[in-house]
Structures are given as structure tokens and as C-alpha cells.
Structure 1
Amino acid sequence: MSLQQSLSQIYLDANATTPVLPQAADAALAAMKTGFGNPSSSHVTGLRAKQIMTQTRERAQRILGSGEGEVIFTSGATEGIQTGIISALSAAKQNMDPNKKYCLLYGATEHKAVPESLKHWNAILGIHAEIVAIPVDNQGTLDTKFIAQHLSNALMICTMAVNNETGVYQDLTALEQVIRANNPHVYWMVDCVQALGKTGLNLADTTIDYAPFSGHKLYAPKGIGFVYIRKNAPFTPFIAGGGQEGGLRSGTENLPGMAALNEIFAIMLDESDFKFTPIALLHEFRLQMRQSLEKAFGKVIFNHEFENSVPTTLNFAIEGFSSKEIMDLFDAAGIRVSSGSACSSKVTRSFVLDAMGIPAWQSEAAIRMSFGPAMTQEEVNRACQRIEQSAMALGHSCLMSQHHIDDKAPLAGLIQFKVGGSCTWLYVDADDKSAIVIDPLAQVSERINTLIECQQLNLVGVIDTHGHADHESSRNVIADKYLAAQSSDHLGWPDNAETFELGDDKFAYIPVGKKWLVQIKTPGHTSDSISMALCEPVTSQLDVQYLFCGDTILMGSLGRTNFDCSNTADMFSSLRLIDNVVSRDALLCPSHDYNNEFTSSIDAEIARNNLLQQTLTGVINKSQFVTQKDLLDQHIVDESGSEIICGAFVGECQQQRMNEYDSDTLANALNGTDKSIKLIDIREPHEYALQHDQSFDENVPLTRFVQFINENKHDKNAEIVLLCRSGSRSHVAGQALIRLGFENVGHLKGGYALC
């Protein structure tokens, strides 16, 4: 197998880290190969090494305007933060009044390294001051009135020069006036990591006591940084030992890192043939990218003002798309961006934007584009071109209305949309484009509208499985637009639905293309709960493909029955009814999927849900079910301890073993004569269109994965290997297949990223 090479990357995540400039890398390599001496040694090799260190420090002092202050080399900004905090708090502790309550102030939008370090050393040193976040306004500016009110009791105040997520800068002169007017002696640390190379600094002219910096944010290697200490500011060494750095920071110096920094400083001081881009041109670059985003995606919401932010950062959200969707889209196009701080990459919300009062959807959908002063016009041009190509790929998938194109990707079968743990289902008949929407979430209503119009679907119903308590349904919004003439009940079930009899039971149904959507009344979770079976036209029994079961049966659980409108005894009867009319291998499509399991079946749930198994096999009666179910409802929590709105967890989501391949082992497997492997790229169609390997058989996006499972559930012995961008989605999808009985499932560990 020869996997496609990655597109040449457009790197727009400089606030996380930067590539090492070639001249900086060359200087580091030279320091390792020829200038490798220990700066503390007195022989010639050591003296030459010491000269590199001395020159680097002198250049740093000139750039910072440090005057008589100290510049100490560290392993990075985090060490510099520790140095400032432990120095300030050690000194402050000596003069504390035991009868006075003290606080430590920090900006609410600070990098997490600051408050976490304050908490740590506050406890270790036994100071036990209250740690207080300084609020910001909707532009990210610190509240100076709040600062003034709290400074009299403050031992230390920590602010930042430039925010890493939004690029917002603080007016340090105005801050200094407020701080010193209200507490001339409070220790003040300013995180200057994102300011280096983007704003001017003249630290000796300020009363800033400590200022940490990091090399890898400005084209130097990781593992090298420095911290400024104002003259006469108290100092406690963070690392003791051999007495290097004049006894201020022990440990053999990182000479290759310093040599690289030395080259960066030479560029900043205009002492190099290489030039950084002027600030005015960086502003122009940001404007060009902003214009491309707006041209490509239409309405783009920027999460910060451009007037009070450095020109190298854009933080924005695109309505209707999560941050992960846009990150995956850009990554497929070779554009590297982030959803916020790289140190908080697993967090879905931005605490910085939350502190600014930005709406929750913008915080959850935030994307950060950031670049450095080495950015060139040619790189900006390529970035803008890729941004517009990315949006065109969304148009090809009918996910953006302003990009309708003639060769749009066909849409047929079942599609699953997920927001958090909630699901919306869209089924489209391949022949006549009849469509049905089940449990529509407000967050996906615009996407559904776009699909309906782009694909010219014939919407026959928008139906909720019950009255939802945990989220807003957009049923009325969609129905009013496309089904204004249709009369229905409060869940959207059409009043004119036809009926049929099956045994002693009578059911209502509506046609969806060649299929029937059959209503099954399943009260229990709520009094109005229904399930809907999508099946072939009925003859003697229901031939069900999908059962939209709301919150009656969930993956690994049963719906809770302790609402005012719930009835546990009714749920018992509903479960028995479902088992009577639906085959046990039919796929269940609930309105919640808390563990990313996509779908299930009665067989799969019985295997791990003892209460369901006992109910359906007649081991327990209705009264016993009510007793056991009520006990379960008293403990409705997820693994983090948070309450789950609609589920009563009675089973476990167990990790299954699967075949894990890397590019070499998969290539060997594919070249074997005794194996027939089906390769499935499970990224979304727009990602697949932008970049994919031609050797993969087909694209089965996760939004259509349940359809794939249904189409292949009668061939569970086939060997299937799944692929995605990073290996994360393919692993989750593989787990779902194994749980449903597929026997030969594997995935490409690391995905495209590591191939």
C-alpha cells in the first residue's frame, strides 16, 4: 500500500508552537557539534561556549530593555512562571500579618499555568491566601476597578501581555498606574510569552517584577526560555545545585537552545540578513485571511476585536459547525489550526471566551488561526486559497448553502447528527428523495434545512420520539418551513397517517419512499413516548431496518423513568412490545448516544444489560421490574459523576480488542494472497474530497456509519480496516462494530497523520 503523501501544510498554529527557523536550527546544531563546551569550564572550548551564552543574554537584555534587571535562562515559560511566583510568595510570607486575610490576583483569561502554579505554591508555602480571578469585559480587557478594590489585600498580581487564544493585549501602562496607585509594594508578574516579537517591550521603565518568556513561540527550539527579574525584586532560586547562572538557576546550561535564541534575537535586532515581516504588513496579512474566511464561509463570527489584539491571531466561529468539524476540514486541506490553547486541546469549551462573556456556542465552536512574524505573502496567498477550497468541499457535501454545485455528492439512506450526547436522525429514500427527520436538535436545524434545499428532498415528516426535557427541539421550525399544510399531533406525527393491523395490535404508518415508518406507542420514559420502525411494507410481520426508539432503550442503558411524566410499569410493557414486533438484530437508533457507540440492537443490549435480558426472557415480572428500575434511577450518573438527563446506566461500555495496524503492517497484510481486506475511510465526505488515498475502497463517514452497519450486518466475517485522520474516530467506530458482532475489525493507528 502506498498511502497518499500529506498536502504541503499551511501552518497556522504559531501560538501553540512555531517551526524552528533554519538559521536557528543551524546555530543549535553547530553548538552541539563544535561549540559543545560547558560554559563553566575555563578551557578554550568552554570559553567559546560561554561567549555564545553571553552574547545571547546581551541581545535579550537589549530586546527587553531590561536595564539593570536580570535575564535568566530557563527551560521555558512554565519554569519562568514558577520562578516568579515562588520568589514573590517567599518574600511576601515573611511580612504577612497573621490577623489579615490575603489574596492572590490573576487575570481570568490567563494561561492555566499561572492559576495552577499559584494554587500549588500557595499550598506548599502554607500561605493559604484566597486565589481570585480578575474578570474581563467582552473585549478581554481586565477590570481595573476590580483590581483597585482587591489590591490592598493582595500579595501578588499576575497578568499577561498578550492572550494566547485571542491575541488580545492589555494596556500595561494603564494597569501599572492602577496597581501602583493602590498597592505600591505588591509583586507583579506579567506573562510575556505571546508578546515577544509582536509588541515592543521596555521592561526597565516599568515596575513589572517578573516576566517569563518561551523560545518555541518564536522559532526557537522547545526547552529554552528566559525570565526577566526586575532590579531589587526578591528572588528565590527555583532550581538549586551547581550555581550556574550566577547561582540564580542551577543546572548545566542549554547551550544549543541559547545559540538558537541568539539567532532569533539577531533577527529581531536587525543584525541578520533574514528579516521578520513588519507589524504593518502583519495587520494586512490578518485582514486578507479574514476576508477569505468571510468569502468562503459567509457569516464568520470573530471572538475578539481587531483593534486591541496583535495582528497574528484570529479567533472565530462559524455558525452551525463545531470546532472539531472545522479543524478536521482544515486539516484535510493541509491547514493546521487549533480550537484554542494547545495545552487545553481536550477541552471543548474555551475558558478564555467564557470569561469574556462570549455565547456558549461560539466558545464551543472557536477556531484559532495564528502565525508569526516570519509569515510571508506567498504563504498567506496559499492559506487563503486553501480556506476557499475547504468551503467548496462543504458545498459539495451540501453543508453550506452558498456553495451549491452541480456535481454535489448524492445523499441517500440514514444519516446521524450528534450534538454532545444527543442525536438527530435523517432518512432519505434513494429513489424519490422522500425524507423524514427524527428528534431534530436546534443546533442542526440549519444544516438540515441546507441539505433539504441543496438535495431537493421531499420532506414527509419531522417527528419527535417524545417531549424532550434536556434540549430544545427544532421540529416546529423545520415543519413550519416545509410542512406548513400538514396537520399533526404535538410530536409531529401526521393526523392523516394510515393504519394496519398486525395480530391483535393496530399500528399507524406513513410512507417514506418505498419504506414505511410505523409508529409504536412506547410510554414509560415519558407518557407520550413513541418508537418508530422504518421497515419494508408490512405483510405478516415487521421487517425492521431501524427502530427510532427515543429514550426507551439507549446504548448500555434504559431511559430513566423518574420524571413526573414517567411510568416505570409502562416501560416494562413497552419493552415487551418492542421485542414482540421487532427482530433482535434490527438496529436501534435512540435519541441519545452518550458513549459514541452509534447504534445497537436488542441482542447487543441483552448481552450487557441484565435488567433488559430478564425483562424480555420473562425472568422477572412487571412488579419486579419496577422495583429494580427505580433503584437504578436513584444512581443516574456518568463516569465523571455528572447526572445524565435521560439515561439509567445498567451496562458497561467495554473496550474491545481489535487489530491495530501501522502503515507497514497494513501494507504487508494487503499484499498477502490469503486476505481480502475491505478498506474504509470513515471521514466526512468534505474531508475525503480534499484528501484521501486512492487504494481505499470507499468513504463511509461516521454520520452514515449506522447505514454501513445495516448494509453489512449479514457479513460479519469480512475483514474490515478503518481509517481516519488521527486514528481516534476509526478506533471508536471499530469498537462499535465489534460490539455488534463483527469478527474481523481493525484500524490504522495514527491514521493519515502518521502515514
Structure 2
Amino acid sequence: MSEQQALSQIYLDANATTPVLPKAAKAALSTMETMFGNPSSSHISGLQAKQIMDETRRKAVQVLGAGSGQVIFTSGATEGIQTGILSALCAAKGKMHAHKQYSILYGATEHKAVPESLKHWNKVLEIDAQIKAIPVDEKGTLDYDFIAKEVPNALMICTMAVNNETGVYQDLSALEMVIRGHNADVFWMVDCVQALGKRGLELANTSIDYAPFSGHKLYAPKGIGFVYIREGAPFTPFIAGGGQEGGLRSGTENLPGLAALNVIFDELLDNGDGVFANAGQLQLFRSQLALALKNAFPTVVFNHDFANSVPTTLNFAIPGFSSKEIMDLFDAANLRVSSGSACSSKVTRSFVLDAMGLPAWQSESAIRMSFGPAVTQQQIDQACDRIHHCAQALGHSCLLNATGNIDEKTQLQGLVQFKVGGSCSWLYADPVTKTAVIIDPLPELSNRLLTILQCQQLQLVAAIDTHGHADHQSGRIALAKAHLDNQHADYLGWPVETTEVEIAQRRFAAISIGDKYLVRIATPGHTEDSISLVLCDKDKLLSGALDVSYVFCGDLVLMGSLGRTNFSTSDAKQMYQSLQSLAQLVGDQSLLCPSHDYHNEFVTNFKAESSRNSLLNDVLNGAVTVEQFVERKVELDKNINDQTGEEIMCGAFTGSCTKKHLQEYNGSELKEKLQRDSQVKLIDIREPHEYALNHDQEFDMNVPLTRLTDFICQQQHNKSQELILVCRSGSRSQVAANALARLGFDNVGHLKGGYALCQSS
């Protein structure tokens, strides 16, 4: 076990869930062991259980300032939301007038549980109201003018006390004036989940009808929650059955959960052990974390205004880094944060930040750091140290100009792939001559590439586009301005001063990079200016042999498809010729590095693509004429779907996504495998900065996904070597293993679940 791996966990994802307070856990366990009676039973054990439930309810009323309103215990916030919505809409339906159009309003930044529940019950109850999102401004504040205009015809309005992603709170008093000033009778539900313990609540002094809460967001176990019902507000039980909770919510009560809540309420009422920090201290903690982030990442941008946010949430983005990169980085330092809402792990951008009108990059790169009132000064201090350490790790990878690196920087050697969405940039570095060339540079990567060149002290030989890109401006301009000011080049970046080389009795222009030539080959079709760049061994080429390392083919060949030929500058006939001539030149095993990778397959070759692309296969085997190719290419391009976001798709995926069988190991199986088989290579495929922060000494090597293509090239001669890949969660290792298997590596496995489920010991 490495020293870094022994670091204790610092948990800063409290808005997703919190650890159970030790005293609360002890109360729950004690209740399970000694006070396990059913509160509905009339014997002594039942009466003792009922006393716990009644005491917890009494404290809940105090904490919420519920007055004569009701507090009903639930399984959590989602049930509380259903209870409030069902109760309101059942009552509202009875007051509806025929032929009148009604609406249901909710805040655009609400937790998805609210709008999805509204849609569900609106349909089930056949109310057929229009469900409308209330806009917010750049600070996340609800649009009062919109509410004033829409609420007169609304059956229900749902708002949020505190947002779970940004910590932004709403002024409930001002909101109440707008709502009641324009519709005194509309039913109003306020999601108070994130407000508990962070904002003062005197619900009886408001006209809020329903307010759901969750225990696990404030140090109670999962599976316990409660909902406030204003006195006189209509109520329809969401769960019917045995008539528990006075017939309002059936089902045997979660007594251990109630016992834990009892402890939490004591803390909120200042009757506990005083483990909850006050508001002033929490603000100091936030300021300390914010300062640590600014010092570690000087370009950090905070996605919300601290003035109208609770002090326990920081939502930020770091220019040039995706949320996943920062999540993985922090996770390697045993610092737990999340990207936006933890309730949907597949979301790649924040709908909350989108609603606030923030730039797309901030939404896509958003990180949420949140803590609860039981956090300690020691934990905050440790978190700040880890943040600084994370910046040092990025310096180790030359992704950030950080001072005081963890250890010496990794020397960049060979090919590195960078991706933005489905688009790729490629950097090839020669460590001996300290030179580099960049292919298809993306503008979003300009700063990162410039930092790498500076950090590695590499001289840029050329920055070249394989064609004029329709979906983005080239990042070549910024690179050329910084490093190639005196170089004369054409508009694609190909230098005017080149060497001439001969391949298969044809003459081509080439430039040198270390012991390699980068050879320019015209391959029109996708566009009339399309070129392919072949990186090959210089000495062997001068001796008459073409030894290819990589073919940067632009959008001539894509993984699972061919580049589209329906642009105004496209020519399918030319593509037919380009495919045949390039394949004849480089063979079927040379690695093709396209400018797009839509399915995380990294790299390919003509053999792999021919096996799943019948059109390509027919072209290379001469089984289709150029006229037939043009006809079939027109049909192929009809499958292109440009409705995938802001990117223009450069090809229609037609190849099979069928994954080959992979050997998957759990922790114990992997340990056993390594003990009995000394020939297997264990490879960590996380990025170098993650690896530097946290890795096991028994790994043979670190092969990050950005270097996977380079690894494949080096391993081409030994595809039978048994490899087992490991990453943080098992997702990257599976993707990488599939890529290797597709290219003929027949002895590849990975650790299912990764470090997340199995820390080596």
C-alpha cells in the first residue's frame, strides 16, 4: 500500500448524503436491540416505542416551528414530495372549472423529484394542467414577475428553500407576498430538504402548505424523513393500509430511524452535545475552502453568489477541466465531492446552472463541494491540504503550472490523445530532441496544450489540421502565435519548408520530429482539402521500408463508419480513391487516429473497421465500383444525426458495438490471480496525476486513457500478453479493455468496480 493510499477519507458531499452521527447511530442500534416494540401495540414494549415516536414528533414541531401544523413521518423526501403533490392536486381537481386551462408551477432549478412527480400525478389524476418551469436569474432567484403573471391560473406552485446543487436559498417571505398577492388559494409546497440545520424555519408563520424533509441529508440514517402539513391544508394519504400515523401514513413506523432523528433534533435545539457549528463558523469554513481553491487553481470560477447561498455549499468550475477530471483527481486524494446533483450519475451538465444562464463550459465542468454542520476544523484543514496536493498532482502531469510537485514530472514520450466531446486532438512528443507536433488542435484545449509544452519544455515543430473543420474553429492559431511565429505554413498549418520522401515510388512532403517523419498524404473526400499524416520511422523509410507508427486520418475513416460526404466541399468519388490508396500504402494493421471518436474506442485500423463496415470492406477488396460506392455512401450519410448537441456529427455510426467477452475480476479473485501467475501485467489506467496521488506499489505500469493508443502501438508485437486493467470505478478499465480486445488483444481482463469497490490491502 502506498503512503498516499493510507490517507483518511475527507467527505465533502453532504448535500448528497451525510454519515450518520455516531450518537444517532448508537440510538438507532439501541432501539433495535432494546426498544424494538411496534408503536401501534398496546403492551409495554409498544408503549415505550410510541413514546420515542411521540417525543421525536414533538421535537420536530419545535425545530420546524410547525405550531398547530402536522408532522408526518415518511421514508424520506421523495415520499414527502409525493404526499404534498397528491394532496394538493386531489383537492385542486375538485375545484376546477370545465374548459378552463390551468397550470402547475415549479422552480426551474428544483430537484428533479418535483417536476417528475408533478408530471406523473398530473397524468394519473387526469388533470391535464400545463406544467411550467419558473425561470431564475443568474443568481438563481425565482422570477417574481413570471409568478405574478402565471400563479392566478395555477393549481399548485412548488418552490425550493435551498438548492441542492448551488446552496442558493430563496427569500420565502418575499416569495410568499408575490404568491399570495396574486392567488391566496393556490397550494404551495416548499422543498426544505437542504434547509434543515442551515436556515431558520418558522413554518407556522407562513402560508406554506407542504414541506418535505429528509433525515439522511442531516446525519440520520437513510429511510427516514418527514413532511410538514399546514393546519387546514387538504390531505390525501399517499400510503393506505394499517392506519398508522393516525391514518395519515400507513406502514409500521421506522423506530430506529425515529430514534436517530431524535438525536439530530436535540442538536438543532441546542440540547445535544454541541457538535453542530453555528452559522458564523460555517461561513468561515466556506471562506477557508474557497481560498484554498483559489490558491490551488487561480482560474477557478464559483458558479453562485455566496451572498444568497447557505455557507455549506460551494459550486465551482476550473477552466480547461471537465467535472469528471476533477472528480477523479479529488477521489484519488480521498477527497469526496460530486459533479452537480448526485441523484443522476449520467448527467454531463447541470440543468440548474443552465437555468441560471451560466456558460456551457461552467455547467459541464461544475463541481459541488458540500459539508454539514457537524464538520470539524480539522476536517476543513485537511481538505484544504488535499486541494493543494491535487493541484500539485496536476503539475506532475503538466496540466497545471503548480509549484512544489509531488515528485518529478513524468517525461512525456510518444502519443497523447485529448478529447472534447467526440472530437480528438493528438500530441506526439519526442523526448530526445524535446520536440512535438500537434494534430487537429481543438480551441478548448489551447491552454492545456500550451501548458504542457511549457511544462515539458517542448519545442513545437508544427500544429496541423487534417482538414478545415466545419463544427469548430481550429486551436492551431493560438498555438502558432505562441510557438510558431516565424514558421511559414499553409492554412492547415503544414509548413512550407519540408523534406521530400519516396514511398512506393511516389513522392511526398514530410517533416522531421526526432527519429520519425511525419508524411503528408492528400486524402480528399470528406472535404476537398482533407489530408492524412503518417508518422513513420525515419531510418527505415530512408532504407526503402515504411514502418508506420500512426496514421492521423482526420475524418476519412471513423471508428464504425466513414466520414460524411454530404458537405458542399465533399466528394464521395474522391473518398473512394483516398480509401484505396491510403490502405494500400499503410496496410491493414497500422493504427488509424481519426479526428473524432464518438464511442470511446480510441484508435482503430483498416482490418478492424473492415470487419464491421461492409462498405469499407467492399472498397478495399474491389467489390464495389466507384459509382456503387457513391450510391451507398448517400444512403449511409442519411443515418447521420446532428441532433446530439452542439457538435456536427462527421459520420454515421454503422459498425457493431458488440463487446467481446472480457475476464472480469473482483478484489479477491484478482489477488489470487496475481499470487499464482507472475506473468500477468497489472496496469493502472488512471491519469498520471491520479496515479501519483494514490496507487498500489504492485502495479507494473500506469497507462492512462490519454496514452492508451501509444500503449497499443508499443504492444502490437505482443498481443497475447495477459493484461489486467484497473481504474477508480471500473468504467474506464472496461472501456480500455474493450478497445484492446477489438484490436486483437485476446488476453485482457479488468477489475470490476475498480478501487471504489475494492481497495487493495
* Residue 51 of structure 1 pairs with residue 51 of structure 2: yes
CA shift for structure 1 position 655: 1.3
Q: Could you list the per-position Cα deviations for residues 297-337 of structure 1 after superposition, in whole angstroms to 9, with x for gaps in the alignment? A: 11210000000000000000001111000000000001000
- Residue 158 of structure 2 aligns to a residue whose secondary structure is strand
* Residue 705 of structure 1 pairs with residue 708 of structure 2: yes
Determine if contact 2:18/2:217 at 8 Å carries over to the other structure.
yes
Query: Aligned pair in 2 of structure 1 residues 428, 643: CA closer, same or farther (>3 Å)?
Result: closer
Q: Could you list the per-position Cα deviations for residues 662-683 of structure 1 after superposition, in whole angstroms to 9, with x for gaps in the alignment? A: 111111111115x510010101
Instruction: Report the Cα distance in structure 2 between the residues aligned to 1:713 and 1:628, rounded to whole angstroms.
Output: 33
Q: Could you list the per-position Cα deviations for residues 596-650 of structure 1 after superposition, in whole angstroms to 9, with x for gaps in the alignment? A: 0010111111111111111001111111111111111111139989996101223
Map of 1:535 onto structure 2: 536
- Residue 231 of structure 1 aligns to a residue whose secondary structure is coil
Map of 1:98 onto structure 2: 98
CA shift for structure 1 position 457: 0.4
* Residue 72 of structure 1 pairs with residue 72 of structure 2: yes
Determine if contact 1:632/1:648 at 8 Å carries over to the other structure.
yes
- Residue 403 of structure 1 aligns to a residue whose secondary structure is coil
Instruction: Report the Cα distance in structure 2 between the residues aligned to 1:471 and 1:644, rounded to whole angstroms.
Output: 9
Map of 2:139 onto structure 1: 139
Map of 2:195 onto structure 1: 195
Map of 2:250 onto structure 1: 250
* Letter matched to residue 370 of structure 2: S
Map of 1:654 onto structure 2: 658
CA shift for structure 1 position 2: 11
Determine if contact 2:525/2:572 at 8 Å carries over to the other structure.
yes
Tell which deviates more after alignment, 16-25 or 603-612.
603-612
- Residue 502 of structure 2 aligns to a residue whose secondary structure is strand
Map of 1:738 onto structure 2: 741
Query: Aligned pair in 2 of structure 1 residues 641, 14: CA closer, same or farther (>3 Å)?
Result: closer
Instruction: Report the Cα distance in structure 1 between the residues aligned to 2:75 and 2:382, rounded to whole angstroms.
Output: 34
Map of 1:377 onto structure 2: 377
* Residue 470 of structure 1 pairs with residue 475 of structure 2: no
CA shift for structure 1 position 401: 1.7
Aligned residues: 754
Q: Could you list the per-position Cα deviations for residues 349-368 of structure 1 after superposition, in whole angstroms to 9, with x for gaps in the alignment? A: 10000000010000000000
Determine if contact 2:394/2:402 at 8 Å carries over to the other structure.
no
Determine if contact 2:244/2:250 at 8 Å carries over to the other structure.
yes
* Residue 729 of structure 1 pairs with residue 728 of structure 2: no
Instruction: Report the Cα distance in structure 2 between the residues aligned to 1:646 and 1:415, rounded to whole angstroms.
Output: 22
Instruction: Report the Cα distance in structure 2 between the residues aligned to 1:644 and 1:451, rounded to whole angstroms.
Output: 28
Tell which deviates more after alignment, 385-394 or 502-511.
502-511
Map of 2:519 onto structure 1: 518
Instruction: Report the Cα distance in structure 1 between the residues aligned to 2:395 and 2:505, rounded to whole angstroms.
Output: 49
Map of 2:401 onto structure 1: 401
Determine if contact 1:78/1:113 at 8 Å carries over to the other structure.
yes
Map of 2:590 onto structure 1: 586
Map of 1:328 onto structure 2: 328
Instruction: Report the Cα distance in structure 1 between the residues aligned to 2:618 and 2:260, rounded to whole angstroms.
Output: 68
Map of 2:449 onto structure 1: 448
CA shift for structure 1 position 3: 12
* Letter matched to residue 725 of structure 1: R
Instruction: Report the Cα distance in structure 2 between the residues aligned to 1:273 and 1:742, rounded to whole angstroms.
Output: 59
Determine if contact 1:398/1:404 at 8 Å carries over to the other structure.
no
Determine if contact 2:105/2:156 at 8 Å carries over to the other structure.
yes
Instruction: Report the Cα distance in structure 2 between the residues aligned to 1:718 and 1:275, rounded to whole angstroms.
Output: 55
Map of 2:685 onto structure 1: 682
Instruction: Report the Cα distance in structure 2 between the residues aligned to 1:643 and 1:486, rounded to whole angstroms.
Output: 31
Query: Aligned pair in 2 of structure 1 residues 639, 147: CA closer, same or farther (>3 Å)?
Result: closer
Map of 2:489 onto structure 1: 488
Task: Name stretches of at least 5 consecutive residues in structure 1 with no aligned partner.
Answer: none
User: Normalising by the residue count of structure 1, what TM-score does the alignment of the two structures yield?
Assistant: 0.98
Map of 1:289 onto structure 2: 289
* Letter matched to residue 486 of structure 1: Q
Instruction: Report the Cα distance in structure 1 between the residues aligned to 2:488 and 2:3, rounded to whole angstroms.
Output: 53
* Residue 645 of structure 1 pairs with residue 646 of structure 2: no
Instruction: Report the Cα distance in structure 1 between the residues aligned to 2:368 and 2:26, rounded to whole angstroms.
Output: 30
Instruction: Report the Cα distance in structure 2 between the residues aligned to 1:26 and 1:274, rounded to whole angstroms.
Output: 17
CA shift for structure 1 position 443: 1.1
Determine if contact 1:160/1:192 at 8 Å carries over to the other structure.
yes
Query: Aligned pair in 2 of structure 1 residues 639, 595: CA closer, same or farther (>3 Å)?
Result: farther
Map of 2:168 onto structure 1: 168
Instruction: Report the Cα distance in structure 2 between the residues aligned to 1:408 and 1:676, rounded to whole angstroms.
Output: 29
CA shift for structure 1 position 510: 0.5
* Residue 506 of structure 1 pairs with residue 507 of structure 2: yes
Instruction: Report the Cα distance in structure 2 between the residues aligned to 1:650 and 1:291, rounded to whole angstroms.
Output: 49
- Residue 262 of structure 1 aligns to a residue whose secondary structure is helix
Instruction: Report the Cα distance in structure 2 between the residues aligned to 1:636 and 1:561, rounded to whole angstroms.
Output: 11
Q: Work out the percentage of aligned pairs sharing the same amino acid.
A: 65
Determine if contact 1:541/1:581 at 8 Å carries over to the other structure.
no
- Residue 652 of structure 2 aligns to a residue whose secondary structure is strand
Determine if contact 1:139/1:305 at 8 Å carries over to the other structure.
yes
Query: Aligned pair in 2 of structure 1 residues 2, 510: CA closer, same or farther (>3 Å)?
Result: closer
Task: Name stretches of at least 5 consecutive residues in structure 2 with no aligned partner.
Answer: none
Map of 1:21 onto structure 2: 21
Determine if contact 1:636/1:644 at 8 Å carries over to the other structure.
no
Determine if contact 2:642/2:649 at 8 Å carries over to the other structure.
no
CA shift for structure 1 position 403: 3.0
Determine if contact 2:516/2:535 at 8 Å carries over to the other structure.
yes
Determine if contact 2:464/2:494 at 8 Å carries over to the other structure.
yes
Instruction: Report the Cα distance in structure 2 between the residues aligned to 1:479 and 1:750, rounded to whole angstroms.
Output: 43
Q: Could you list the per-position Cα deviations for residues 569-622 of structure 1 after superposition, in whole angstroms to 9, with x for gaps in the alignment? A: 000000001111102111110000001001011111111111111100111111
Two-structure CA RMSD over aligned residues (Å): 1.5
Q: Could you list the per-position Cα deviations for residues 440-498 of structure 1 after superposition, in whole angstroms to 9, with x for gaps in the alignment? A: 01111101000111111011100000011122211111111110111111100111122
* Residue 626 of structure 1 pairs with residue 630 of structure 2: yes
Instruction: Report the Cα distance in structure 2 between the residues aligned to 1:168 and 1:3, rounded to whole angstroms.
Output: 38
Map of 1:352 onto structure 2: 352
Instruction: Report the Cα distance in structure 2 between the residues aligned to 1:643 and 1:377, rounded to whole angstroms.
Output: 45
Instruction: Report the Cα distance in structure 2 between the residues aligned to 1:477 and 1:746, rounded to whole angstroms.
Output: 41
Determine if contact 2:471/2:648 at 8 Å carries over to the other structure.
no
CA shift for structure 1 position 653: 1.7
- Residue 307 of structure 2 aligns to a residue whose secondary structure is coil
* Letter matched to residue 235 of structure 1: F
Map of 2:430 onto structure 1: 429
Q: Could you list the per-position Cα deviations for residues 246-281 of structure 1 after superposition, in whole angstroms to 9, with x for gaps in the alignment? A: 110011111111111011001111111243111100
Map of 1:575 onto structure 2: 579
User: Normalising by the residue count of structure 2, what TM-score does the alignment of the two structures yield?
Assistant: 0.97
Instruction: Report the Cα distance in structure 2 between the residues aligned to 1:552 and 1:341, rounded to whole angstroms.
Output: 39
- Residue 534 of structure 1 aligns to a residue whose secondary structure is strand
* Letter matched to residue 752 of structure 1: Y
Map of 1:319 onto structure 2: 319
Map of 1:342 onto structure 2: 342
Q: Could you list the per-position Cα deviations for residues 127-160 of structure 1 after superposition, in whole angstroms to 9, with x for gaps in the alignment? A: 0000000000000000001100001110000000
* Residue 268 of structure 1 pairs with residue 268 of structure 2: yes
* Residue 159 of structure 1 pairs with residue 163 of structure 2: no
- Residue 516 of structure 1 aligns to a residue whose secondary structure is strand
Map of 2:609 onto structure 1: 605
* Letter matched to residue 690 of structure 2: E
1:658-669, aligned counterparts within 5 Å? 658-669=662-673
Map of 1:616 onto structure 2: 620
CA shift for structure 1 position 652: 1.4
Determine if contact 2:463/2:476 at 8 Å carries over to the other structure.
yes
* Letter matched to residue 410 of structure 1: Q
Map of 1:304 onto structure 2: 304
